[in-house]
Structure 1
Amino acid sequence: MRRDLHEANRLSWNEATKAHNSHKGDQAAFFRAGGSTLFPEELELLGDVAGLSLLHLQCNSGQDSLSLARLGAQVTGVDISDEAIAFAARLSADSGLPARFERSDLFDWFEAARSDGRRFERVFTSYGTICWLSDLKPWARGIADMLAPGGRFAMVEFHPFALVFDPKWTPRHDYFAEGAIPEPDGVGDYVAASGETLALDAYHSGIEDFRNPNPAFEFCWGLGQVVSALVEAGLRIEQLKEYPYANGWAGFEAMRDLGQGRLAPPDNMPRIPLMYGLAATKPA
């Protein structure tokens, strides 16, 4: 477990989060008007959340957290970024959607939550989260410990096979890479790169030509490693799905817009998995 690298990532995310939110306009107005940032895949895997306690891991600036609160969940969001959690708390107050937000390194948060005996009926994470974690086993154990008996964990994540390719669809990266992968340019402005698919009601220019002054460190986790960690932690995998598109993220050139925020490889490429989702339960 590399908390020192997590700390570097905290600093990088603090800067990137400012750029990301600068492109999204009046987010409180978006939510007051009934807006949601959730995709059908998350909702299907989570099931009905009305009236349930829900823990949102690596919640970023809280947009998905508040979308889940709108559905009736009692939401607690956790993220390492000071900027993200402060923004999420303001957005909750300004939008009138109640949720609790807590800033912490996720592994430190798990330790404290265990000591306090906290439990949740749903645990959720999505999109570009686990690549920032230096160890999957304590992640999976933390999820299992936070779930109440019979509770459900759901996640949607970008497929590790897709991350083998560089932005020009050239195989470049090792699927089985081990250890930290330095990102000297830090967390980038993927919202600007993806345009309207991640910008809520409309794209706003905001901070242009963003350059992150703080480097970051990523980690590669294959699909087998994710499933194995959850199973070893005592969870039962109920669903594992792969999708030939990515929700919101235009990470590669010439991606086709399928509508509803779904982006796929260009027509001259065979379909490949760009995203996967899974649901697991804790035995009652």
Structure 2
Amino acid sequence: MTDYEEQNRKSWNVATVAHNSHKGDQAAFFRDGGSTLFPEELRLLGDVRGRNVLHLQCNSGQDSLSIAALGARVTGVDISDEAITFATELAAQSGIFVTFHRDEVINWLHTVSAQGQRFEIVFVSYGALCWLPDINAWARGVASVLSSGGRLILVEFHPFAMSFDESWTLKYDYFCPDPIVSLDGVGDYVAASGEGLAGAGHPEGVQDFANPHPSVEFSWGIGQVVTALIEADLRISRLEELPYSNGWKGFDGMEQRDGRRMYRRAGQPAIPLMYALEAAKA
């Protein structure tokens, strides 16, 4: 791994403990038929029964388990040791089978592609692309592990929204070619989002979280993402921009409406906060 990726691994390891402290009894939630998937993911995924699904940057595995519970054969990959350990234990306690791997995703894609492994669906969601140092290598890796006719399903926070700070002040460059270093590291966005990201309940958990490990992010605009996928010979069939974010209350004064969707306050101009993309391999 690069120095950037090693910093992020350490930062995510610490943050993951805090995140899961706010999510209640997740094993019971899944045993009772709970799901962390939002309607956008369910609609794009379609019927996954019997499908071979790869979940990249799967974090602690909640969405991976939700997809597997629909009848898919799921493999999850994440850079964080803590996340993969938690996901593996959660799968065992929930009685839902998922295979998890701890690795940097671009390296993992290269390795399994060379081994001939293929998947019918690659699933990526929510705050994933900003951790990739090379969007073109990622797109090529995704294409290389998709079977013929296989699909990439991407639901992601909109990069334009990431140009604003928490108070909705335009602060960051949309076109930012350099790595973005945060000395505060990965924060406790689960605590800040309340019940939005805690389907199994929202206990108080870790308080006043401070991450001792800096993190490094990368800015990939919509044009860069789309171009990378096209150049990887994937055919884009859907690109949808949405004026809300699912679960994540990342800015001041956001209003939660039906389905745990977070909007700007009434009366404020709507801007894209999230986008959904589907692409297929010929």
Whole-Å separation in 1 of the counterparts to 2:5 and 2:246: 26
* Letter of the structure 2 residue corresponding to residue 175 of structure 1: Y
Matched with 1:128 is 127
Aligned mates of 1:46, 1:30 — CA distance in 2:
22
> Who is 1:53 aligned against?
52
In structure 1, what is the Cα distance between the partners aligned to 2:198 and 2:22? 6
Write the distance in 1 (CA, Å) between the matches of 2:100 and 2:127.
19
The unaligned stretches of length 5 or more in structure 2 are none
Rounded Cα–Cα distance in structure 2 between residues aligned with 1:3 and 1:76: 24
Maintained 8 Å contact 1:46/1:279 = no
In structure 1, stretches of 5+ residues that fail to align are: none
What are the Cα deviations for residues 29-64 of structure 1, in whole angstroms up to 9, with x where unaligned? Answer: 000000000001011122211110000000000000
Hey, what does 1:268 align to over in structure 2?
Answer: 267
Q: Check whether the contact 1:243–1:275 (CA below 8 A) recurs between aligned residues.
A: yes
- Which aligned pairs between 1:235-274 and structure 2 lie closer than 5 A? 235-274=234-273
Q: Distance in 2 between matches of 1:67 and 1:214?
A: 30
Which runs of at least 4 in structure 1 moved beyond 3 Å after TM superposition? Answer: none
Q: Which residue of 1 aligns with 2:222?
A: 223
What count of residue pairs does the alignment treat as equivalent?
A: 282
Report the RMSD for the aligned CA atoms in angstroms.
0.8
Give the 3-state SS of the residue equivalent to 2:111 in structure 1. helix
One-letter code of the match for 2:37?
Answer: L
Partner of 1:188: 187
Distance 2:263 2:82 in 1: 31
Matches within 5 A, 1:25-44: 25-44=24-43
Which residue of structure 2 lines up, in the alignment, with residue 67 of structure 1? 66
3-state secondary structure, aligned to 1:260: helix
d(CA) in 2 for partners of 1:9 and 1:31? 28
Taking the aligned partners of 1:11 and 1:34, their CA distance within structure 2 comes to 32
Q: Residue 153 in 1 paired to residue 145 in 2?
A: no
User: d(CA) in 1 for partners of 2:200 and 2:185?
Assistant: 27
Query: What TM-score comes out, normalization by structure 1 length?
Result: 0.98
Return the letter of the residue paired with 1:102.
H
Report what 1:169 is aligned to.
Answer: 168
Task: Please tell me whether the aligned partners of residues 84 and 102 of structure 2 are also in contact (alpha carbons under 8 angstroms).
Answer: yes
Letter in 1 for 2:104: D
1:8 and 1:83 map into 2 onto residues whose CA distance is 14
